[in-house]
Amino acid sequence: MRKTFSKFWVASKQPRKQRKYRYNAPSHIRHSMLSAHLQKGLRKELGRRSMVLKKGDEVEIRRGEFSGRRGAVSAVDMKRLKILIEGIKRKKVSGQDIQVPIDPSNVVIVKVNLEDKKRKKIISRKTPETKQ
């Protein structure tokens, strides 16, 4: 099996090939794998269904052990395709607190961080007001 990433890869039913696609994907494609759905109010406001997660976004966890908890994204792990959320911690056997990595598909964006100029530009070109 080829180890390099193929941009022509379409789909496969085999989980090993799906995992391989995710592991070998270049950073510009991995970036889009870190997106999450927007809350219903934000969808109407921004005119889109989902956005790529960034540090500072406020999210609500919908699935898993920490479901129902809210917090700001403290870090985005591009290598493992996970996010770290402030206040979501677990104790190690040694007693040290560590942040728990959460999959982006298990969260909903509640508040968007608009400090980034590029992000503002992307949102402004997608909003319903500009589509006249």
**How much is the average pLDDT of 84-92?**
97
For 22, what's the count of Cα atoms within 13 Å in the CB-facing half-sphere?
A: 13
Whether residue 5 lies inside any domain: the answer is no
- The confidence score (pLDDT) of residue 132 equals 47
Query: CATH number, domain at 80?
Result: 2.30.30.30
- Mean pLDDT for the chain overall: 91
pLDDT(109) > 80: yes
Domain count, the chain: 1
**The model's pTM:** 0.86
Q: How many CB atoms lie within 10 A of CB 103?
A: 15
Residue 111: alpha-carbon gap to chain centroid: 13
Q: Which amino acid is at 101?
A: P
The reply to whether 126 falls in a domain is: yes
What's the confidence (pLDDT) of residue 127? 67
| Residue 129 binned pLDDT confidence (cut-offs 50, 70, 90) | low
Residue 13 lies in a domain: no
Is residue 14 domain-resident? no
Residue 124: domain span: 36-130
- Domain assignment of residue 22, yes or no: no
For residue range 22-70, what is the model confidence (pLDDT) as tens digits? 999 999 999 999 999 999 999 999 989 999 999 999 999 999 999 999 9
The answer to whether position 24 is within a domain reads: no
